[in-house]
Amino acid sequence: MYELYINSLIFLGQVTLLIIAAKVFFYAVRTPVLEGRFLPWLRFFYLIWPPYQMAGLPKDYSKDLLIIPISTKTSHRIYEGKFQHRYIGHYAITIGVSHVIPQPADKYDLGAKITATFYTDDKVILSLDLGDKVSPVWGGVGSSFFTLFVYSVPKDLPRGIPIHCKFEVTMEPEKLASYGYAWFSIRKWSDL
């Protein structure tokens, strides 16, 4: 009986060490895996068990890559910015607003025509007509955002090099102003 007790304690100790080793491994390789530099097939495990639930995401993983305030005073304007992708996966071009968007609705009409151009060293790598019908996403307390386009890194835009972007906007200012303050953002999106 005593042997069975000792053997079960040894087994539990081995299982515990294996779990601890797996957590340390996933924590140690999270950034290279999410950047696409090491064991790309491991990203699947980060989708099932996101790193923030296991051992913490890198601090910059979910930050917006780019934020550009939008003027609701003029009907035609060009906005420019510069950013760089660190991680592979999906990203979204959004318009954030300070007021909560009324729901439910599948699409909203912003009353705007938006074109986006992404380039590196004056070479255009992606040009988009984002249209005027956008999908809403209800954000945190007191804000929401409209999803304009979801793209993939490195398929649509490259990782690890500076990218310049230009948004050309023609809109009805009062329509967007009804949602409060507005801004363009590029943010990490769900990879599912």
Element (H, E) at 85: none
Q: Where are the domains of the chain?
A: 2-54, 66-188
Residue closest to 191 by CA, chosen among 95, 91, 85, 60: 91
Per DSSP, helices labelled H in 36-71 are 43-48, 51-54
- Dig out the tokens for 191 from the structure: 């990879």
Identify whether the C-beta of residue 93 lies closer than 8 Å to the C-beta of residue 130: yes
Give just the sign of the alpha carbon dihedral 59, 159, 93, 50.
Answer: negative
Confidence at residue 51, expressed as pLDDT on a 0 to 100 scale: 47
Confidence at residue 45, expressed as pLDDT on a 0 to 100 scale: 64
Confidence at residue 116, expressed as pLDDT on a 0 to 100 scale: 93
Q: For each of the chain's 192 residues, which pLDDT tens digit applies? A: 778 888 888 888 888 888 888 877 777 777 777 767 777 777 666 655 554 443 445 555 557 888 899 887 888 899 999 999 888 888 889 888 888 777 766 677 777 888 999 999 889 999 998 866 677 665 555 667 888 888 998 899 998 899 999 999 888 877 777 878 888 899 888 776
Residue closest to 112 by CA, chosen among 177, 51, 21, 47: 177
pTM to 2 decimal places: 0.70
Confidence at residue 156, expressed as pLDDT on a 0 to 100 scale: 93
Give just the sign of the alpha carbon dihedral 104, 110, 113, 118.
Answer: negative
- 10 Å CB burial of residue 70 (0-12, 13-18, 19+) is buried
User: Topology of domain 66-188, per CATH?
Assistant: Jelly Rolls (2.60.120)
